[in-house]
């Protein structure tokens, strides 16, 4: 599921007519997620993706945007993000007050994919703005300008979140969740994940398999010693360090131990687990 354009040269590829076409990021499908995304786009339906951190949700959206030839606006949501941050606001420019579109408004005007990552982090006024875009109206009201924008056929709203971080204060209301099609993401099966790590990092497949095996052992500690398991992203980082000539133990320390915990006892337990896996 994780991807980087190892299947194609970096940069733009040349088409037979002599022009340039964007490189589509490498993506290894795990199920029917690509087909479902294409159907959602064709039927003008919004899509929600849920899954653990670093499992490939954001890259999947980038892959599908390139595959469909659509521009992509990505917003990393946080608890201070307001509706105005998405829709736009009046700003002072050269002595004049000028309206400036936010990323959501730009995407609705132009077409393409608007991707809101970690949607549960936003303030409540944001979901109110999204509701008219997620039903058959596909409208974006801009109260400050008096406009009501109708989303073009090639506009798609995609949101994501990590269910592991949800709590009573940060969760999507059922009335919001039920406005979206939904895809559940998880870390890939070991064989597929090893292929992905190898494609991303350039490290040989055999050593990637061993790193993935370690990753599986680390994920088994989630909810016990670790708040969150080892992501595919971190496995890729570790493999990249090894591919670049770092010692295996140094790469594991920097990519798979230090990012997972600040507790010295927990980190020592992780190091003991590494010894058990690698000998």
| pLDDT band of 23, cuts 50, 70, 90 | confident
Distance of CA 275 to the CA centre of its chain: 32
Query: What is this structure's pTM?
Result: 0.85
Dist. CA 3–CA 124, nearest whole Å: 33
Q: Across the chain, where does the E strand assignment appear?
A: 13-14, 20-21, 47-50, 72-76, 88-93, 96-101, 112-117, 139-142, 147-150, 155-161, 181-184
Question: What pLDDT, on a 0 to 100 scale, did the predictor assign at position 22?
Answer: 62
Section 133-156 average pLDDT: 94
User: Helices 232-243 and 205-219: crossing angle, nearest 10°?
Assistant: 140
Tokens linked to 132: 């008219």
Q: Contact 7/202 with Cβ under 8 angstroms?
A: no
Question: What pLDDT, on a 0 to 100 scale, did the predictor assign at position 3?
Answer: 41
- Considering the segment(s) 13-184 as one domain, its CATH architecture is 3-Layer(aba) Sandwich (3.40)
| pLDDT band of 165, cuts 50, 70, 90 | low
Section 234-241 average pLDDT: 97
Q: What does the domain layout of the chain look like in residue ranges? A: 13-184, 190-278
Longest CA pairwise span in the chain (Å): 68
Question: What pLDDT, on a 0 to 100 scale, did the predictor assign at position 18?
Answer: 47
């Amino acid at each position: 599921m994780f991807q980087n354009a190892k299947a194609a040269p970096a940069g733009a590829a040349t088409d037979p007519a002599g022009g340039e076409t964007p490189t589509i990021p490498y993506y290894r499908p795990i199920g029917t997620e690509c087909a479902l995304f294409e159907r959602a786009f064709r039927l003008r339906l919004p899509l929600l993706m849920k899954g653990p951190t670093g499992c490939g949700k954001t890259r999947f959206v980038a892959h599908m945007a390139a595959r469909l030839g659509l521009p992509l606006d990505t917003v990393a949501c946080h608890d201070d993000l307001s509706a105005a941050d998405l829709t736009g606001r009046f700003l002072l420019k050269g002595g004049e007050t000028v309206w400036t579109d936010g990323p959501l408004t730009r995407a609705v005007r132009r077409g393409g994919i608007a991707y809101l990552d970690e949607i549960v982090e936003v303030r409540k006024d944001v979901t109110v703005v999204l509701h008219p875009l997620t039903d058959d109206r596909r409208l974006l009201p801009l109260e400050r300008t008096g406009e009501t924008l109708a989303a073009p056929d090639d506009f798609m709203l995609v949101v994501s979140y990590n269910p592991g971080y949800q709590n009573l204060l940060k969760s999507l209301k059922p009335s919001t969740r039920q406005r979206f099609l939904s895809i559940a993401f998880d870390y890939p099966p070991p064989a597929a994940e090893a292929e992905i790590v190898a494609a991303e990092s350039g490290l040989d497949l055999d050593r990637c398999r061993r790193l993935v095996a370690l990753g599986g052992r680390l994920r088994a500690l989630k909810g016990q010693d670790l708040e969150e398991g080892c992501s595919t992203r971190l496995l890729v980082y570790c493999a990249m360090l090894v591919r670049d000539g770092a010692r295996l133990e140094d790469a594991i320390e920097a990519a798979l131990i230090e990012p997972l915990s600040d507790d010295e006892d927990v980190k020592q337990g992780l190091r003991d687990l590494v010894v058990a896996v690698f000998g």
